[in-house]
Amino acid sequence: VTKPAGREELLARAFVSLADTLVDDYDIIDLLDRLVGYSVELLAATAAGLMLADARGQLRLVASTTETADFLEVMQLQAEEGPCVDCFSTGTAVSAPDLTSASAAQRWPRFTAIISGRQTYASAHALPLRLRDQTLGSLNLFHPAPGALPAADLTLGQALADVATIGILQERAIRRGEVVNEQLQTALTNRTIIEQAKGVLAEHFQLDMDHAFELLRGYARPRQLRLAELARELVTRQLDPGELISPRQKPGGKPTK
């Protein structure tokens, strides 16, 4: 899996994996988590985050490639101002090829101020998760250098956003529009459990949140467990956090048990 691959091969692998997930009974957070991972690899981005709107129309981060406090804050702000919220409200792709430009600063003063203070990202692209006339959320890509994504990349990014929409829909949604909302609600609720489980692991192993999430994901994936289900077991103490690490691999931090 770690063997270097050309983009075409990577692309094929991504869609095969996503398609595989879709035919099985799957966890939506897990699917979206894979999807943001592929979008970063395929589109040479530094970071990606996927936001969904809750029942009150407020955007919430559901999956991201990095869970650092820094990135979470950037996404939190994006719920109020920035390419992401503009993409959501218009239902169209929004490109910010140069976040240091005067036009970007004029359009999103608070967002660009935060971004320029950090100097991590120079450009951002937001692609809508569209369903008929409804926008469910957006896929947000961040690049370290300024520049607009080529049209082919935007098309590919939109295809990934569409896969996310399909994942949220499930087959039943084609019959009943309301299921979309059930699924959306489930994704948002599951995210809360996952955040709590990250806290459990961070405290138990004295890890930062980023590594706590990697540990959660690293345990769930090879065992084909649902992230939210694993998180639920940790939060409700049905599963001891120590189980996530085999005796020989325990990290430097001292386990409490």
Partner 1 sequence: LAIAAGDPDDERGLARQICLACVAGLDIDGASLSLLTTTASRQTLWASDPVAELLEDLQFSLNEGACIQAASSGVPVLVPDLAEGVEVARWPVFAAALAERTEIRAVFALPLQWGATNLGVLDLYRRLPGELSRSQWRDALATAEIATLLMLGLHTDPRRNQVETLGNDHTDGQLHDGGAGASGWLDSLSGGRAEVHQATGMVLVQLGVTSTEALARLRAHAFAHQRLLIDVARDVVDRTLVFTKDDK
3-state secondary structure of 63: strand
Q: Binding to partner 1 by residue 174, rule CB under 8 A? A: no
The CA distance from 172 to 256, in Å, is 44
Length of the chain: 257
Residue 141 sits at the vertex; the CA angle it makes with 117 and 138, to the nearest 5 degrees, is 115
Q: In this chain, which stretch among 2-10, 19-27, 161-169, 183-191 interacts with partner 1, using CB under 8 A?
A: 183-191
3-state secondary structure of 145: coil
Q: Binding to partner 1 by residue 105, rule CB under 8 A? A: no
Q: Which of 17, 116, 170, 196 binds partner 1 (CB under 8 A)?
A: 196
Which amino acid would we find at residue 193? Answer: I
Tell me the CA distances in angstroms from 16 to 11, 12, 85, 202, 249, one per residue in order: 9, 6, 30, 33, 32
Q: Binding to partner 1 by residue 253, rule CB under 8 A? A: no
Q: In this chain, which stretch among 138-146, 150-158, 163-171, 200-208 interacts with partner 1, using CB under 8 A?
A: 200-208
Q: Which residues pair with 95 in a beta bridge?
A: 125
Q: Binding to partner 1 by residue 235, rule CB under 8 A? A: yes
Q: Which two tokens stand for residue 85?
A: 């919220």
Q: Binding to partner 1 by residue 236, rule CB under 8 A? A: yes
Q: In this chain, which stretch among 3-11, 153-161, 162-170, 182-190 interacts with partner 1, using CB under 8 A?
A: 182-190
Using the Cα atoms of residue 53, residue 59, residue 64 and residue 68 in order, give the sign of their dihedral.
negative
Subset of residues 39 to 68 that bind partner 1, contact rule: CB under 8 A: 54-61
Q: Binding to partner 1 by residue 199, rule CB under 8 A? A: yes
Subset of residues 75 to 94 that bind partner 1, contact rule: CB under 8 A: 76, 79
Instruction: List residues binding partner 1 (CB under 8 A).
Output: 54-61, 69, 72, 76, 79, 134, 176-178, 181-182, 185-186, 189, 191-193, 195-204, 209, 231-232, 235-236, 241, 256
